[in-house]
Structure 1
């Protein structure tokens, strides 16, 4: 990070993952509103672990850029083996990326080894929460000088990460809550949008607020303001920008929900009481099984003129 590309590239990654999760959670809930269970990640139709492998590849690329490609000597240490002060933030950023890499790697291992255990979903959610907690901690205790507009951008970013962390932890105990999953996906999407906005607003000279300028400090371009009034104006503009983005993300999320529900909710089918219900408990915590439950026998309905809620035939 610390550059336009350093913010835009990971921002696009968060944006795409958030959008992918938002779409799939809405679709899954629309198709299985009565048996919805929130998965921590979604398999793709072509390759099951594509999402997780992309997270791992992006994390490795970020670590390589921070520690080996970005530094002038292509390694982050001083000749005496110590970490120079101007590379502390490189280690902080790479630590965040390493935690997300571990989340994706263990998610694959848990899915392959503990596929029959329901605990794998909770443990995967816990790993995601650890990654968000690491992200929040290191952004809050960042070694870089985040005074002025840059500091305000990072402060507001921490609020979004806090929402991602909180909803991820809530998802462990509330796996059937669509609202929790929806909010978490929307917050990850917002993280991506905000990181992209930071990259352009802080490292594009033409977008620097009036009365402020870009200054080279310790090998990095930093936005500084010429007066207290200019600084106050710049920080206020960041707050206004955040509020507009929040409104836009909210409108987008609700519009996407309404659109997808209209498309997929009508595909729910109803079946007679003769349909089997034996696999209902076992299939609900699996994404593919949830999708099949719309066509198969995961949920049974009485359909005589009108449809009613599921009925336990043993009562």
Structure 2
């Protein structure tokens, strides 16, 4: 079995899309908060100059293409002498996630065009529905995700659950920069982990030592040749998750510092916004001191 199977591409391309959206949101949330910390309200999506709905249009196009691939692409031919593959239930389950993304992006465009009230909260509910759908699909998947593949997908469920939680928190705390930052970072990490799954499970040269790609029930997966190899591969998956999580944390902090330095006016605006204001009582006390002949000193 050589080359990169379709299962790998089916994870890497959607993963790249999640990474792109997550990075776009990370940067824009940081920039918006840096420029207006006192008036920060988190948008659900960010318009582009001269192409307001570009982000949503790309989500619709990418999700529709993946939906078509899952629903209508012909299945790979079975090996010689083997029975035909069973119904492609897992393809239909993946297509449901793509459909949820299309519904979210399409509804977001329409709600913005008609200037519907509470559209931000409704859009976040739709985002939460997407991640709830994904979590449901991967938790009750018709495909038996066992062994190495199962461990990678179990860790993916943790990331999807975090995306769902931060989307719901964003409804109740629209002015919280921490919630928006965490949601954007989770979306980015979600895409990164999808890319890792596509590479480590379905690229033969990257399959853990002691394991090999096999074809079972009309689909590609990985099986280890011994219990020792399986335990080593599972531990490697856990270590990778920790490595990439640490990398993601460092990256987010570094990006935040870069954005703060890139927009230095933000620090001055924040200082002005939080500077203590002189009260009427303070002015009265100063006038009394002046009448008593004292010298009033004002620090600049």
Give the equivalent residue in structure 2 for 1:87. Answer: 88
Offset of residue 310 of structure 1: 7.7
Q: Which SS does the other structure have where 1:34 is aligned?
A: helix
Cα distance change of structure 1 residues 13 and 142 upon mapping to structure 2, 3 Å threshold: same
TM-score w.r.t. structure 1 length?
0.80
**Structure 1 residues 39 and 6, CA, compared in 2 at 3 Å: closer, same or farther?**
same
Aligned: 1:10 with 2:14: yes
- Matched positions, count: 269
User: Residues of 1 paired with 2:201 and 2:271: CA distance?
Assistant: 55
In structure 2, C-alpha distance between the alignment counterparts of 1:9 and 1:100, rounded to whole Å: 15
Q: Could you list the runs of 5+ residues in structure 1 that have no partner in the other structure? A: 74-83, 271-298
Deviation at 1:263, TM superposition (A): 1.3
Distance 1:263 1:67 in 2: 45
- Give me the TM-score of the superposition, normalised by structure 2: 0.84
How far off is 1:85 after superposition?
3.9
Q: Could you tell me which residue of structure 2 aligns to residue 36 of structure 1?
A: 40
Partner in structure 2 of residue 147 of structure 1: 146
Answer yes or no: is the 8 Å Cα contact 1:301–1:310 preserved in 2: no
**What is the CA-CA distance between 1:237 and the residue it aligns to?**
0.5
8 Å Cα contact 1:300/1:310 also seen in 2: no
Following TM superposition, by how much is the alpha carbon of 1:312 offset from its aligned partner in structure 2, in angstroms?
A: 11
Task: From the superposition, tell whether residues 56 and 312 of structure 1 become closer, same or farther in structure 2 (CA, over 3 Å).
Answer: farther
Q: Is the 8 A contact 2:86 2:218 kept in 1?
A: no
2:294 corresponds to: none
**2:191 aligns to what?**
192
Structural mapping, 1:179-258, within 5 Å? 179-258=178-257
- Poorly superposed stretches of 4+, deviation over 3 Å: 267-270, 299-302, 309-313
More helix by share: 2
Q: Is the 8 A contact 1:14 1:189 kept in 2?
A: yes
Give the aligned partner of residue 101 of structure 2. Answer: 100
**Which of these two proteins has the greater Rg computed from alpha carbons?**
2
